[in-house]
Structure formats: C-alpha cells, structure tokens
Structure 1
C-alpha cells in the first residue's frame, strides 16, 4: 500500500518532512536498509567511509570509465585511481564530461562551470567537481542563504524573490532573498556578499557592515533538484540582514524574475500553499523561530522541527 502524500495547506512539520525526507536509521533500521536498496555507495580507494549515495538510475544511465569499480552485490561505486587531489579532480571531471556528452547527458541537468569541494569524514579536501555531478553522487553540498527584511508600521516584512521562469529547477517559485552554492575555496561570508551583489545589486560594503550570521541548517533529501529520485545532503550557512531605506534590492543577474515585500503572514501562507522552493521553507522556518514568530506555544511539533533543521550528515554503509 503506497503512502498518501500530504496536500496543501501544509503544516510546518509537513514542510520539513518534504525536505528532510531521507529516513533515519535509528528510527527503523530495516526500513532504512530497504530504502538503501535503491542506492549505491560512492567510495574512493583509501577512505573507509562513503562520500555520497548514488541512485541506481545514475548507475545504469552512465558509462563508467575503467578507473571505476562497480560491485552490484554490495552496491559499491568506487573510484580506484588517484593518489592526490589534482588527479582525483581530473578523473571526476573526465567522468562527468563523458556523461554530459552522452545521449543521457540531460539525466544530470546542465554543466555548471563551477567547482565544488568534496571532503572526507575527517575534513580532508579530497577533490573538486563541477556542480553537474553534485546531485548525481549524493555528496554534501554547502551553500549560503540570506533573509533580508525591513521593519514597517505593520511589522517585519521580508524581501522574497520569485525565481525566473527560465530556471531549470523550481521555475517561477518563491525563493530566499539571496542564495547560492559555495565554490571551492570560498568562505561563506565572501560567497554571501558575492551573491547579494549578483542577485539583488547590494553594495558589498553595505552587506558586510549590516549582515548577521545565524549559524547553519542541514538536511537530507530523497530527490534531486529536478524532483527525480536521488540524494541531496545540504548544509546552509544562514544569514539575515535588516535593510534600511537606502538599500532597496534590485533584480540583478537574471536568477530573479520578480521581487516582493511580504509580511510574515503572507510568506507563511505561500509556504503552506506549496508556492516556495522546497529547501527555502527550511530557511524561512528557521527565521520565524529566531524571531519568535514560531514558538512552543503555537507550534506543537517545534522540537521535531528544530531537530530536523540540523541533521547530522553521517555517511555510512548500512
């Protein structure tokens, strides 16, 4: 019997469950193992823990070069060659470009022309890869996200962009004020300042002097950015900023189609109606909790919600 999916209006917990949808091993080990039958473990020779979980559709849809070893019984996908960062990076680039040029190239989306880091469980920088392969390999990806707000006579209002209709993922949906992935070697604050300038035309000096760091959020999805079966381990470095009258956002690099100034109630209704990009719901909920809009008095599931806004990414072989 298939599970009945929730329909709008969503509760806050249902919004979280749609994003942090990967099962928890400690809650039901057998169900977790059944779930993992659809995934292969992405391994690299010399490291004892997996780096990601690869959905089986990618295994069958890609021609893997000879320096990869596939063990279909254990569901291991292992990079067997490369003793240093430069070599491993070259091999991943070669693998991904071959996949991109194949008839199934669109299986992974588009070539990003941005390099993202891959770290071991001990924090070692193991290789870099184009964003084209991040969702495929199910690795941990790091991003920066800003909630920009103004204080009005009616209370706090948030600058909420609508994604351009030309975006490959979630076109036309509401988004965080600013957001983007961190490139290799980029510090979170530098990435945030860059994104603010590119997306909403904020002066870097203004951003640096007004922005406030608010920690991190983390969660694990069972879909890729196109909502196909996959795995995403996401970590958000979260920021907020109160904007004055002298800093009105403007549409910048084409990522944004429209900009709206929404009350907390208007944004909440949009979230509950499914109008907001999935992962952005997590950023918004965290902001509402920090600002005391969601509390233990008005949200019975606040403990579960807070817990699942901060998932620990522990990759292991079940």
Structure 2
C-alpha cells in the first residue's frame, strides 16, 4: 500500500478512537458503575448535570454510582427516564436534542443481563456502550471482479449527513437480536427482502472503537455481516435515510475511505471487509497488525 493510503487509514482510525488518544477527556473522566459493574464514563459536562440529581447519582472521588434504592431493572429504567426527560426540558446537554424515542439495553458486557434501558441519544452522556449491526454488500462479476455496494446518507440525517455508509446498518434496540436488526435494516434501507436477507446474510465478526465529540463519549460495538448479492440486484432505500447507492470496485472503495467522505465507523466496517477478503495483505501494508488492533479497541 502507498504511504498516502496508510496515513489516510491512520487518520480514520485516530478519529474513530479519539477517546483513547492523547489530549482526550479520558484522564479527567469518572467511571460510571451500576450494581458494582463498570458500564461507562462520565465527562465533566455530564457530571455537572448529574450533580443536580443527588438522590439518583452518587458521586465518589473517582466514580459515579446509582443510589442504592435503585436496585431493579424497572426502578433504574424509570428513574433515569425521568431524569433524562427533565434534562431534555432544560436543554442542558446538546445530545438530547437528537432524542430518538428508541431504547437501548445497558449492560456491562454484551453477554451479561441488562441493568436498565436508556434513550438512545442519552447513552453518550454516560459513556455507555451501544451496539449495532452493519452489512457489507458485494457482488462478484462473471470475470471474478469484486464490487461493493456503498450507500450515501441523506443530507437530512441527524448525524453525518451526506457521507458514505455501508449498504445497511442500524443501532441495536432493546427488542432485537443482532441478526434481527440486520434483516430489518436491510429491508428498510436497501429493500432487500426478508427472504433474501435470511438466506444470504453471513455473520462474520465484530469491530469495536470509542470516540468522543460534542455529544459525549461513544464506546460502540458493531456486529458485522456480509451479503453477496446477485449482479442483477439494485438496492433501493425505503425509509429515506439513504440518498443513493453506488456499486464500486475495490480500488474505488479504498480511495473513498482515505478521502474522509465515509462516516468513520462505516469506513472501519469496510476496512474489516477488505482485510478479511484479502484485499489488504501483510506484504502490502506494513501497519497490518496495528490497524487490526485499532478496529478492536476496548470500550471501558
């Protein structure tokens, strides 16, 4: 790979893992614990707001915990929802302006039982890990050429408008498994029928990363899928989240990634695809191990 490409990939990975970079807020954050389990990070801007609710959030020298009386899933969920609605009414944190009416399960690890549920837009206040599902769609032409379907996000999207995206992706809400989420998003975002998705979707792994921005701290884990589509298939957006789709060769995809036109986590999902299918090799890329380690970063 060229030095320009390697530097471009490093720029993408630095952005998507900004919370782990020198100069981030990480050293000043407090841990967020629930039921003695570490579930997030509290930044100064969030801490200033949580102090307004001392009967809910208990501050210690190095951490915030939930009050002892909040000892069930239901009581935690209900009380935190009331706090967030009050904070939203006060317009005290920018991220709550993007309220989704979509609930995420809060866990210390994906395998563990949920501790409570939370409005999607509020997860970054607490540095809580969110999960999602992404699919890389591709075709193989008769001559053996691989091409990938790349989506372009609508200019009206709340986040990363107009940027390139995977064929389909979505956040993992409280009532869906990763595969159920992926089938749903394939139908809504690319008009891939449930029958075709169920038959062709292939679970291939996951990526993890952690960035921060004006909204807060974003530890995220994405379940990854591949889907090989017929050369006669053309995706079509149903829910207005995608503006267009492009069928690109692998060199075109590689170039787009380093031109910073991709939603950063989607660029990482595509990067994982390129590694897995041998389009990036140790002989071509001297930073092979380093790149792989940066697409599997810890959330806590």
After TM superposition, list the pairs within 5 Å mapping 1:14-53 onto structure 2.
14-23=11-20, 35-44=25-34, 47-53=35-41
- Residue among 149, 157, 160 paired with 1:167: 157
How many Å separate the matches in 2 of 1:9 and 1:304? 11
Structure 2: any 5+ residue segments left out of the alignment?
none
RMSD: 2.4
Secondary structure of the residue that 1:65 maps to in structure 2? coil
3-state DSSP class of the match of 1:101? helix
Tell me by how many angstroms 1:219 deviates. 1.3
Query: Which of 269, 281, 291 is residue 295 of structure 1 equivalent to?
Result: 281
Alpha-carbon contact 1:88-1:127 (below 8 Å) kept: yes
Q: 2:237 aligns with which of 246, 251, 271?
A: 251
What CA distance in whole angstroms lies between the structure 2 residues aligned with 1:8 and 1:168?
Answer: 29
Task: Quote the residue 1:218 is aligned against.
Answer: 208
Describe how 1:1-318 pairs up with structure 2 within 5 A.
10-23=7-20, 35-44=25-34, 47-61=35-49, 64-71=52-59, 74-80=61-67, 81-104=69-92, 106-121=94-109, 123-152=112-141, 153=143, 155-221=145-211, 223=212, 227-228=213-214, 230-313=216-299, 315=300
In the TM superposition, residue 167 of structure 1 has moved relative to its aligned partner by 0.9
Contact 2:58 2:66 in 1 (8 A): no
Deviation at 1:214, TM superposition (A): 0.4
1:81-113 per-position Cα deviation (integer Å, ceiling 9, x unaligned)? 311101111011111111111132534341111
Deviations 1:1-46 (A, max 9, x none): xxxxxx999432332222123338xxxxxx79x94343232223xx
5+ residue gaps in structure 1?
Answer: 1-6, 25-30
Q: Distance in 2 between matches of 1:53 and 1:9?
A: 31
Give secondary structure in 2 for the equivalent of 1:51: strand
Higher share of residues assigned helix:
2
Provide TM-score, normalisation by structure 1.
0.85
TM-score, normalising length: structure 2: 0.90
Distance 1:141 1:165 in 2: 24
Question: Does 96-105 or 157-166 show the bigger shift?
Answer: 96-105
State the 1:184 CA deviation.
1.0
- Tell me the matched-pair count: 294
Contact map agreement 2:8 2:259 (CA 8 A) in 1 = no
Using the alignment, how far apart are the partners of 1:312 and 1:281 within structure 2? 18
Rounded Cα–Cα distance in structure 1 between residues aligned with 2:91 and 2:298: 37
Q: Is the 8 A contact 1:41 1:50 kept in 2?
A: yes
Distance in 2 between the 1:127 and 1:212 partners?
Answer: 30
